């Protein structure tokens, strides 16, 4: 199966999120392994039991659980059949197929999973794609056994969104602000700040959603960073990286809306800033765990 035949979720997960650069993929995984470990630190499956990993993607959390908890089982759930097929192939390679099940399901409709049938539910960067977040939390609560644990990781993308017309990815683009606005408009049309599920919530909403779903014991850690960039950028990789499955790469966005001369001026200004790492890093991520 080639990438052109895969759905947008598999294309992004397996290639577009790191611009097709294996080194960037390794850098990304070096960041994600601690995320996986923190999500799994809040659940207990030492004595067996079943984990439901909602929006499993490439299986990072679920495979981590199978390694950490030697007697547990894992249900891989995702809306992408291509990603489920990918995870199933990995499970065979790792000789853990007998401990795995694969279910095509969305976070807000887990009807394929029985009531009170799993000991733990996990997600990683899943609710940012779901409009019906309350329904998702209610589904998490429904499928958990009494005393079962929900453990999730979600980026608070609204925090990193910059509305300043003179900023682009944190870079100062004042001299080419009008050109940059055309590129920004491509992304804002696809994912409006106030209505897109990736941007229209923060950590306080997650707490409310969990409580309204029925969870009575809820914890939340918020990790926030604002700092100058500590690394130089790779321009070619930046051009070809899509920051989420639903949006174009910078290269594709520029092709859509810029003339040749506008593109030339925009690149001439932005590229040196990227390659010098002259930007501000802004990040806010939430870890929430709750007990039924």
pLDDT tens digit string along 95-109? 999 999 999 999 999
CATH architecture of 3-291: 3-Layer(aba) Sandwich (3.40)
| φ, ψ dihedrals at 47, nearest 5° | -100, 25
Distance of CA 200 to the CA centre of its chain: 15
Those residues with Cβ within 8 angstroms of residue 236's Cβ, 6 or more apart along the chain or in another chain: 19
Residue 117 to residue 111: CA distance in whole angstroms: 12
> Is residue 161's pLDDT more than 80?
no
Q: Distance (Å, rounded) from C-alpha 197 to C-alpha 146? A: 29
Neighbour-count burial for 48-76, b at 16+ CB within 10 Å, e otherwise? ebbbbbbbbbbbbbbbbbbebbeebbbbb
pLDDT at 4 > cutoff 70: no
Q: Are 188 and 180 in contact (CB under 8 A)?
A: no
Rg (CA), the chain: 20
Contact (CB, 8 A) for 223 and 282: no
Question: Of 60, 53, 74, 79, which Cα lies nearest the Cα of 132?
Answer: 79
Span 62-85, average pLDDT: 97
Q: Answer yes or no: is pLDDT of 239 > 50.
A: yes
Query: pLDDT digits over 137-156, tens only?
Result: 999 999 999 999 999 999 99
Q: What mean pLDDT do residues 8-22 have?
A: 88
Average pLDDT over residues 25-39: 94
Residue 140's alpha-carbon distances to 12, 147, 213, 290, in angstroms, are: 25, 13, 8, 10
185 CB-side CA count, 13 A: 9
Write down the mean pLDDT value for the chain: 94
Phi-psi sector, 13: left (phi>0), alpha (psi -120 to 50), beta: alpha
Give me the pLDDT at residue 24, please: 85
pLDDT at 229: 86
**Banded model confidence at residue 162, pLDDT cuts 50, 70, 90:** low
Please give the backbone phi and psi of residue 154, each rounded to the nearest 5 degrees, phi first.
-140, 130
Q: List C-alpha distances in Å: 2 to 10, 34, 104.
A: 10, 30, 21
Q: Which of 104, 150, 153 is nearest to 126 (CA)?
A: 153
This prediction's pTM? 0.92
Is the per-residue pLDDT at 284 higher than 70? yes
Residue range 200-237, pLDDT digits in tens: 999 999 999 999 999 999 999 999 999 998 778 889 99
* Percentage of the chain modeled with pLDDT above 90: 84
* β 144-155/118-124 pair status: parallel
Q: Residue 2 pLDDT more than 50?
A: no
Hey, is 264 helix, strand or coil?
Answer: helix
Does 256 have pLDDT greater than 80? yes
Rounded mean pLDDT, 233-250: 92
């Amino acid at each position: 199966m080639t990438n052109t035949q895969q759905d947008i979720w598999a294309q992004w997960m397996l290639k577009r999120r790191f611009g097709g650069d294996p080194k960037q993929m390794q850098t990304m995984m070096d960041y994600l392994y601690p995320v996986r470990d923190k999500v799994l630190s809040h659940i207990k499956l030492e004595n067996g039991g079943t984990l439901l990993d909602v929006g499993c993607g490439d299986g990072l959390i679920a495979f981590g659980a199978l390694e950490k908890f030697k007697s547990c089982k894992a249900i891989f759930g995702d809306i992408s059949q291509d990603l489920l097929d990918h995870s199933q192939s990995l499970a065979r390679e790792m000789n853990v197929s007998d401990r795995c099940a694969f279910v095509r399901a969305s976070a807000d409709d887990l009807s394929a999973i029985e009531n009170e049938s799993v000991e733990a539910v996990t997600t990683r960067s899943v609710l940012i794609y779901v409009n019906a977040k309350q329904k998702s939390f209610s589904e998490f609560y429904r499928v958990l056994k009494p005393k079962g644990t929900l453990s999730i990781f979600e980026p608070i993308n609204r925090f990193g969104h910059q509305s300043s017309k003179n900023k682009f990815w944190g870079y100062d683009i004042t001299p080419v602000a009008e050109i940059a606005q055309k590129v920004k408009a491509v992304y804002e049309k696809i994912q409006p700040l106030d209505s897109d599920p990736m941007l229209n919530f923060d950590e306080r909403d997650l707490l409310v959603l969990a409580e309204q779903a029925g969870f009575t014991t809820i914890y939340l850690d918020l990790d926030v960073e604002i700092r100058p960039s500590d690394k130089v950028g790779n321009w070619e990789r930046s051009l070809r990286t899509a920051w989420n499955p639903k949006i174009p790469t910078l290269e594709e966005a520029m092709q859509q809306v810029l003339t040749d001369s506008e593109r030339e001026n925009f690149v001439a200004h932005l590229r040196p800033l990227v390659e010098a790492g002259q930007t501000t890093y802004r990040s806010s991520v939430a870890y929430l765990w709750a007990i039924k």
